[in-house]
Copies of this chain bind each other. A is one copy, B any other.
Amino acid sequence: NNLSTTVTSQRFTQGCRSLTMETLNPNVKAVEYAVRGPIVLKAVEIEKGLQQGMKRPFEEVIKANIGDAHAMGQQPITFLRQVVALCTCPELLESPAFPEDAKIRARRILQGCGGKSLGSYSDSQGVDCIRKDIAAYLERRDQGVPANWEDIYLTTGASDGIMSILKLLVSGQGLSRTGVMIPIPQYPLYSAAISELEAVQVNYYLDEEHCWALDVNELRRAYWEAKRYCNPKVLCIINPGNPTGQVQSRKCIEDVLHFAYEEKLFVMSDEVYQDNVYSPDCQFHSFKKVLYEMGPEYFDSVELTSFHSTSKGYTGECGFRGGYMEVINMAAEVKAQLVKLLSVRLCPPVSGQAAMDVVVNPPQQGEPSYPQFLKEKMLVLSALAEKAKMTEEILNKVPGIKCNPVQGAMYAFPRIFIPPQAIEEAKALGMPPDMLYCLRLLEETGICIVPGSGFGQKEGTYHFRMTILPPTEKLKVLLEKLSAFHIKFLEEYAALQEPSR
């Protein structure tokens, strides 16, 4: 039993590991997340090269791959940061530099924290008074539709909430394995979560010809086809759409909820862009409000969870990882299981909860911070609206690019024509054609965008997703560079084609 002798006899050479690509969890291997995928790794590499003095045909990498507003120069809402700073350093509550309305909110949040400290764990569902503020916000937003604060769960960003709810829903084997219906194109958190949880992905296609509208007949098609190989029981909706930027009409939402009611689907509605609506003829309708207006037969039976976040809207506070979900018509004993599941990770970050509180409870008319708040909010939203329009217009001038109106959210998802020679070249390189396109764009211009293949698209069509977040002037330059690149790309491959004719 002398260890040092047995050790030498059983000596393992370096590289002989327990955890290898062969032994790795296959569900992890199957996960894909394009928004931070290979193209972004390449962008980071190029950026570091530039910093070390490497020569490139451009001076900086512009990351239009991710909805990260502050990284693109958007300024934080002063009031939000004041409240969080006051909660962090309560001595500042004595400082005349901070306005009274911010202090009132900070005191109230701290009152709800153990030992009046942001450093205590909160309940796993979140701080009670913040949940109450969220419920009050929902009632205002939905013009009186009742909201129960005990249905509100704070989360670590919306992604965390979506993961937790999906985790509850996945069960069964073979034909009875849970199917999760997601839009195509989708935000790849959904496909990644489905892979990780070994659920079955059921695609329904948004209608690009009609501004990425959701057609309930397509939902029905996807549902009945999926019935042949799984148990489709979850329906995910993203409204306003990511990456597609459409805002669903009230009529469309009602049709979808009818369908969910008929087929007893659990509806997950990702509404993180609810404050990001730019088209004057569009309006955000929450799934919950529409469900309520359909009457108690629907409102008391359709299982609906909706998600919101501090990361989008006009605050853009991604780094705080704040978010919440409202859970409607979930059985009490299942809710207890949800709380148990959440409690293993203890609680969402409390500073993110405080930030969420400000998002749902901003300064009101008459409060000292209101004028500045309103100015800052309007500045962000009007700039976004302007950039949404400009993006659509510039892209649609380019031959071989067709961009639907960016009605909401933070992205354009234009369709791009890729010449057959480029498609062949991509195939030879073992990559999707739009990946080749985006890689070349990155290498030639420093612009980082994400290929449509990372979000899903109809076979034979190609797209990319870009954010509209860079400052207006910079975005304009970016769009012009992109246009020039696209034309050059087409010409180059057209030239390649001619000799072979």
Contact = CB atoms under 8 A, between A and B. Distances in A.
A156 B120 CA distance: 15
Given A14-B300, A171-B24, A318-B120, A115 B70 contact: yes
B346 A266 contact: no
Q: Interface size class for chain A?
A: 35 or more
Interface in A264-313: 264-266, 297, 300-301, 303
Copies in the complex: 2
Nearest to A296: B14
Interface string A378-421: 00000000000000000000000000000000000000000000
B25 A171 contact: yes
A119 to B, nearest CB: 4
A466 interface: no
A122 B36 CA distance: 11
A28 B337 contact: yes
Interface string A194-209: 0010000000000000
A307 to B, nearest CB: 14
Contact of A351 (B18, B316, B319): B319
Nearest to A233: B18
A295 B167 CA distance: 43
Contact of A114 (B70, B118, B159, B255): B70
A29 interface: yes
Contact of A31 (B21, B32, B340): B340
B18 A265 contact: yes
A243 to B, nearest CB: 16
Nearest to A342: B36
A357 interface: no
Interface stretch (A73-81, A144-152, A444-452, A493-501): A73-81
A55 B188 CA distance: 53
Contacts of A249: none
A321 B354 CA distance: 14
A95 interface: yes
Given A119-B70, A159-B345, A334 B24 contact: yes
Given A24-B334, A68-B114, A349-B352, 6 more contacts: A18-B265, A20-B334, A25-B170, A71-B117, A189-B344, A349-B349
